[in-house]
Chains A and B, each alone.
Chain A
Amino acid sequence: MTTVEKAPPVSRRDVGLLRRPRATTGFASWITTVDHKKIGILYVCTALVFFVLGGVEALLIRLQLFGPNGTVLTAGQYNQMFTMHGTTMVFLVGMPIAIGLGNYFVPLQIGARDVAFPRINMFGYWVVLLGGIFMYSSFFLGGAPDGGWFGYTPLTSAPLDSGFLPGRGPDFWTMGLILLGIGSTTSAINFIVTCINMRCPGMSLLRMPVFTWMMLVIAFLTLFAIPPVTVALTMVFFDRNFGTLFFDPAAGGDPLLYQHLFWIFGHPEVYILILPGMGIVSETLPVFSRKPLFGYAIVVFSGIAIGFLGWGVWAHHMFVTGLGPVAISAFGLATMLIAIPTGVKIFNWLGTVWGGSVRLTTSMLFSLGFIAMFTIGGLSGVMHSVVPADTQQTDTYFVVAHFHYVLFGGLILALFAGFYYWYPKVFGRMLDERMGKLNFWTMFIGFNLTFAPMHLLGLWGQPRRTYRYDEGLGWEALNQLVTVGSFIIAFSVLVFIVNAVVSKSRGKVAGDDPWDGRTLEWSISSPPPEYNFAEIPEVHSRDDFWHRKYTEDDEGRLVPLPSGGAEAHAAAGHDGHGIHLPSPSYFPLVTALGLPILGYAAVFQNVWLALLGAVVLLYGIYAWAIEPAD
């Protein structure tokens, strides 16, 4: 058992212009922190702001489509809205919330005091925040991106002076995504090294909680998915601005190359978004059913299998591009294969709930909602693997319905399950359950009102990405229903935000272990101390914390251990004095600031701005390198 060591004398050498930050509270502490928990909170709060922005864009789209020949948005504005809605929800909401929750809970679940690289962790956050601001600043600098979140060439790659997609939107989009990719890659490396090298004694890989496992899987997916899209975006940027011919059919270029590179990223990206959600419900379902996860190993291996298979299915986004019968058959079959590990997981979750003493908390309701909605989304996904059917459904609202059932009904419901589950650990107070239930039911009903009718609209032929439709096509009533549903979702999100803000000061005090949890994060105080664990824990089994609290009698019934978990409070008297933690630093922020400056320089082709960005970046990197890590 490792014990706390004396802090070595810390060198407080000040570097360059900036003194070593010392604040532990207030604004300065938040911008210089390297504490994985504070960074996690920053990620989630930032992502929620972008969630609201992306939601407003969705509402504008829905207002436009409320009736035939809508006049709320012009065609150009409509293009900007659906482009930014998709881009925001994928890159600035889905990924950052998962990374934020992972940041907060992966070290706690594996018994570590921080991630492997605390300063790089903070750098990743700044890149995501600044990258998001960079992309949104395009609204004020000549128009937002309007080529779709997938940015298909040759539309997006046509030279700037060609008249297609005039304005700087697509350049903001390519540069912004490259920036966000840098941020995601650093977090991915950080998660992998943390999960491999920082586990506490006894925490073998097959004892890691499933949420941590899924974060590890998506870190690998991120690591290998980002480079191809970075290359594709670079080519688009060069085509638009420097006259290269990569995607220019007239010069022999192949626009399909872009689609391949984009979807080699894009499909693993789908799993990058959904696997953390699967990880979250694999944590909540056992806790609220008071049973261990049914088939832990197979859940983990299914997650890994999804990660691997995810690399072999990208072309199912391209069935109508004329790839030829052999290719589409192969990709169709591979896509069907994905249903196997996914289906296995669904049965494992059902097996976990089956026969358990189920507590229908808000978190549990969201988790159960996840299973149901994700199953529907998964099934319509299998429909898409059937190529003739997909050919009919491509570019209709059926596809929109499908991926919203997976990403909203799947990911977002799971994230809310995670919010209600972990909020007490983060803030020490419970989210209000009555508002929570209102939150769940409005979201569940609003979600189904919004997206279920889209299946029908799609089958009736309503195309995606068109800003208005004619009267008399029979689409009016359902489109009105969809718009009403989307506002119910908006109301639900508002309820959550009120709940989160009010509960932070007035919520019921949570205590260390409000849900009778199973994993290590519940063994420490709420909110956790800065150093997480006074003593680095040593685990002896899966769900180790549970086994410290309960044993089983001869008939397999749970019997609480009288000591209430002897080890759990062993360190209760410890004030953590003398535990050495990495010191805060300005340089992740300074270094990250260089990147959007370089981004603006690229978009506006301004050499002086490029020099400024390079100087800021280099100053940040050198000062960072020279500054002692702790």
Chain B
Amino acid sequence: MAIIEQTGTDVTAAPPSPPEQGHGHGGHGGPGPSAALTNPKLAMWLFLASDCLFFGAFISAYLLYRGREQDGPTPRELFDIPFTSATSFILLMSSLGMVLALAAIQRGDHRRFRLWIMATALFGATFVAGQIFEFTEFYRKGLSLDTNLFGSSFFVLTGFHGAHVCMGILWLLSLWGMSMQGRLGPEKAESVEIAGLYWHFVDVVWIVIFTVIYLMPQPGT
């Protein structure tokens, strides 16, 4: 995975510790005996590990309740798999934009960084727009939170994922804004990398959710 390789190269070519790193002792020395990851990066990995269980629990609930809907529309009647595949593809492509944005900021190429970070955010926004369209479409066809267990577990799981994507978009746009103001020098490349970790994670989670919800054969087929 590209991210991990970059982590390795980053340490050797480390720019001076940016203040945001939050070393309690003001950038002296460097972290302890086994610092393979800087503090913020390690913290982000830990948060993502924790978030895995967050989605894991929702996905478990979804799997438990598959095929248990008693009335109202069922997944087979509602899903438009080509449409959702298209928006999923757009979300996955946004990860490429993220990689290119990170490469650009590490080179110090701010113009390209802003281009790619904006493209990533727009791809993400397209995905969210697709999700909103899908939600309204399902709602129109009679599925809401309180229709049946499918409605409950589908909307809550994909809704929380969508909320994660929205947070990510906000984060990317903030980085774009900071870059426009000239506050995002090459020494801040790590904060872009961390945003990237989050973004890729949200994408990877979507691959799992998409597979579980849309691609696995529906019960009763």
Contacts and interface: CB of A to CB of B under 8 A. Distances in A.
Interface of A: 2, 4-5, 7-8, 36, 107, 110, 112-120, 185, 188-190, 192-193, 196-205, 223-224, 226-228, 230-232, 234-235, 238, 242-246, 251-254, 257, 261, 536, 579-582, 622, 625-626, 628-630
Contacts of B151: 244-245
A200 B52 CA distance: 32
Nearest to A626: B183
Contacts of B145: 238, 242-244
Contacts, number: 166
B26 A5 contact: yes
A232 B47 CA distance: 19
Contacts of A261: 57, 61
B24 A231 contact: no
B148 A245 contact: yes
B29 A116 contact: no
B69 A223 contact: no
B151 to A, nearest CB: 8
B174 A622 contact: yes
B19 A630 contact: yes
List 9 A-B pairs, minimum CB-CB distance, nearest first.
A114-B24, A243-B146, A580-B26, A199-B32, A197-B31, A231-B57, A244-B152, A227-B53, A227-B54
Contact of B28 (A2, A117, A629): A2
A190 B20 CA distance: 15
A193 B43 contact: yes
Interface of B: 19-29, 31-35, 37-39, 42-43, 46-47, 49-54, 56-58, 61, 64-65, 68-70, 144-146, 148-149, 151-153, 155-156, 174, 183
B61 A257 contact: yes
Nearest to A628: B19
Contacts of A252: 65, 68-70, 148-149
Contacts of B31: 197-198
Given A118-B24, A227-B57, A630-B19, A238 B149 contact: no
Residue among B19, B23, B68, B183 with the highest chain A CB neighbour number at 10 A:
B23
Contacts of A189: 43, 46-47, 50
A197 B22 contact: no
Contacts of B34: 196-197, 205
Contacts of A226: 50
Given A197-B35, A252-B68, A625-B174, 10 more contacts: A107-B24, A116-B22, A198-B24, A227-B50, A228-B57, A231-B54, A231-B61, A244-B152, A251-B149, A582-B22
B19 A629 contact: yes
Residue among B23, B25, B54, B65 with the highest chain A CB neighbour number at 10 A:
B25
Contacts of A622: 174
B25 A536 contact: yes
Contact of A629 (B22, B29, B50, B51): B22
A536 B24 CA distance: 12
Contact of B153 (A201, A202, A246, A626): A246
B29 A2 contact: yes
B148 A203 contact: no
11 contacts: A4-B28, A110-B32, A114-B24, A116-B43, A185-B50, A223-B46, A227-B57, A238-B145, A238-B156, A243-B145, A628-B20
A253 B54 contact: no
A444 to B, nearest CB: 39
Contact of B25 (A114, A626, A629): A114
Contacts of A198: 24, 31-32
A202 B26 CA distance: 20
Contact of B20 (A202, A579, A629): A629
Contacts of B20: 628-629
Contacts of B35: 196-197
Contacts of B29: 2, 536
A235 B54 CA distance: 12
B22 A119 contact: yes
Nearest to B28: A5
A315 to B, nearest CB: 15
